[in-house]
Structure 1
Amino acid sequence: MKDGTRDDYLLLEELEKPYLALTADRVLDELKRQAEATLPGYRITRAGHGLQAATRAEAQGADIDWIVGALLHDIGDGLAPQNHDRFSAEVIRPFVRWEVAWVVGHHGIFQMLYYAHHYGWDRHARDRFRDHPCFQVCADFCERWDQASFDPDFPTKPIAHFEPMVRAVFARKAHDPEVIREGVVTGLPAL
């Protein structure tokens, strides 16, 4: 790489554009793969879980960043089940508000409140983030949209309903400071 010239890198940048333009397609393909099977013991697929969370978010008046964040909060489960939250956050981080990426990246430890004690783990591990500006938003995300979205009878909107939103988010300029708004916390919509 160190021997590349400016012209070499400008050429690579141009050649990379079609690949980058297909990011939404790759994300949607992964979501569709997650709809084909579920983890043993679960009554819904991983995609079904994300679709329920996104359906709940939309019904509660969330904006596009929160809806797509809810939809894709577990997209990393297939490749990184032990740290799917961080993996999922990295997929969406360049395209959504900072607070949404932070919540997706930390929802795993916040979810432990509901089940960790059954394994002898610390269900209050999330408290180490108590002073973080996104603490309450993440707690609310988990309570309202994540932990509640494992119901096989919940009327869930299909992938096709959310596809235009996914495409709109991934069509944004990556790392746009006007979108990312680092440090700004708006929270979830009021109930």
Structure 2
Amino acid sequence: MTTPLRTVSFTQLKDATREEFQYLHRLEIEYHAGLPRRILKALEELDGEGSIQGYQVSRLGHSLQTATRAERDGADIEMVVAALIHDIGDALGTANHSQLAASVIRPYVRKEVTWVIEMHGLFQMQYFAHLIDQDPTGHLAYQDHRWAASCQRFCERWDQPSFDPHYPTEPLSHFASRVEEVFSRRPFDPAFVER
């Protein structure tokens, strides 16, 4: 009887054995199964000190409000979950938070959703960039893109109005099963990402 591996012996990938990579692959599958839980934890960390300060709501509150608005406006599960995680990149990539959030959700949703999340930071600037002496018209370079209207809707109806501490917002627990459903999909499954 062989003892199960606990740690591989190689120090360079080129020296790995099949047994070691079969073992690591099993561990990766188990780790991937925890992704929805880690997404929810990352969202929780957008509250309090883990949030950009100065707003009337935390970044978590803003994310929950954006997802609540999307859901109440009839958005599908992919767009609701995207609305929930759209600012998840703020903690690590403030300047490119949109691209970071798009990278997180890309393997699990249709291309339209990924594009909207990737571009929402640029489209959102139309509402405030002039107040900080920046160009509010950058989004116009994409006005003829097939998903520009979808991104505009995301920003106008769900994202930009979601800084209201009095808006009746659903709690994170309300969205947990949706996060589980989307982030438990097989990554890059053509049934989802090629629609």
TM-score (norm 2): 0.88
Q: Residues of 1 paired with 2:136 and 2:21: CA distance?
A: 48
Matched position secondary structure for 1:94: helix
1:63-82 equivalent positions in 2, closer than 5 A:
63-82=76-95
Q: Residues of 1 paired with 2:55 and 2:92: CA distance?
A: 18
- Aligned in 2, Cα 1:130/1:4: closer, same or farther, shift over 3 Å? farther
Q: CA deviation at 1:55?
A: 0.5
Q: What's the Cα RMSD here?
A: 1.3
Q: CA deviation at 1:41?
A: 1.6
Q: Deviations over 1:41-98 (max 9, x none)?
A: 2010001001001111111111110110001100111111111110111111111111
Structure 1 equivalent of residue 148 of structure 2: 135
Matching residue's letter, 1:126: H
Aligned mate of 1:124, from 137, 150, 156: 137
Range with bigger deviation, 16-25 or 151-160: 16-25
Matching residue's letter, 1:28: L
Q: Residues of 1 paired with 2:35 and 2:169: CA distance?
A: 24
Structure 1 equivalent of residue 29 of structure 2: 17
Gaps of at least 5 residues in structure 1 are 185-191
Number of residue pairs matched?
A: 182
Q: Residues of 2 paired with 1:164 and 1:153: CA distance?
A: 25
Matching residue's letter, 2:103: E
Q: Deviations over 1:114-165 (max 9, x none)?
A: 0111122110101222232111111111001000111010000000000010
Q: Which has the larger radius of gyration?
A: 2
Aligned mate of 1:44, from 57, 60, 78: 57
Matched position secondary structure for 2:74: coil
Range with bigger deviation, 109-118 or 38-47: 38-47
Q: CA deviation at 1:7?
A: 4.4
Between the aligned residues of both structures, percent identity stands at 46
Q: Residues of 1 paired with 2:90 and 2:108: CA distance?
A: 20
Matched position secondary structure for 2:109: coil
Aligned mate of 1:153, from 166, 174, 184: 166
Q: CA deviation at 1:11?
A: 2.8
Range with bigger deviation, 27-36 or 7-16: 7-16
| 1:28 lines up with 2:25 in the alignment | no
Structure 2 equivalent of residue 109 of structure 1: 122
Q: CA deviation at 1:5?
A: 4.6
Structure 2 equivalent of residue 180 of structure 1: 193
